[in-house]
């Protein structure tokens, strides 16, 4: 019974993570089309406002997944290790292809910005064209494929337990 509760909490926190991170995903697509710098600043701030919930949920689902792995005796099976490696790979790729550019856009827009997990106060805003140029480099479709595709593979591994 305790194992089922832990797995349930693991799944609930995955949902919480995806819900919180969905804010950033939606914002990333909207930013590609937006040309009002005030709205861009607001959307970037909205995305950043979801970070505490997103990271708390990420840590919680990882912790409950580890606990479930011990309770279920899954550590001798390959699927759990592949799932962990995929999760780490997803986080690294999202930071590489998204985090840096959106942090750069926040800095250029003159709002507080994040570099490798550390927040910095706003600096003087650059021109709107410079902000647009940074946002033009972003690829929300690639980020969606990495995140959604990666989580889909992990979900399949958890359900099928193929090896």
Whose tokens are 């009002």? That residue is: 36
CB 29 within 8 A of CB 102: no
pLDDT of residue 128: 97
Q: Over the Cα atoms of the chain, what is R_g?
A: 18
* Residue positions counted in the chain: 163
How do the domains of the chain map onto residue ranges? 2-160
Strand 118-120 versus strand 113-115 pairing type: antiparallel
Q: Which of 28-37, 111-120, 127-136, 148-157 has the lowest mean pLDDT?
A: 111-120
Query: CA quadruple 116, 122, 123, 127: dihedral positive or negative?
Result: positive
- In sequence order, what are the beta bridge partners of 114? 119
Enter the pTM of the model: 0.88
**Does the pLDDT of residue 117 top 90, yes or no?**
no
pLDDT of residue 20: 96
Cα 132 to Cα 152: distance, rounded to the nearest angstrom: 32
């Amino acid at each position: 019974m305790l194992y089922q509760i832990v797995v349930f909490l693991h799944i609930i926190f995955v949902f919480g993570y995806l819900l919180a991170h969905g804010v950033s995903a939606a914002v990333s697509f909207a930013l590609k089309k937006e040309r009002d710098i005030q709205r861009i600043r607001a959307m970037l701030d909205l995305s950043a406002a979801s970070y505490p919930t997103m990271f708390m949920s990420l840590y919680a689902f990882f912790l409950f997944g580890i606990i479930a792995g011990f309770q279920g005796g899954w550590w001798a099976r390959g699927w759990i290790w592949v799932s962990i490696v995929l999760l780490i790979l997803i986080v690294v790729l999202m930071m590489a292809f998204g985090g840096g550019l959106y942090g750069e856009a926040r800095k250029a827009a003159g709002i507080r910005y994040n570099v490798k997990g550390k927040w910095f106060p706003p600096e003087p805003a650059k021109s709107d064209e410079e902000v647009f140029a940074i946002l033009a480099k972003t690829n929300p479709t690639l980020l969606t494929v990495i995140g959604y595709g990666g989580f889909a593979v992990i979900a399949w591994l958890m359900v099928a337990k193929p090896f």
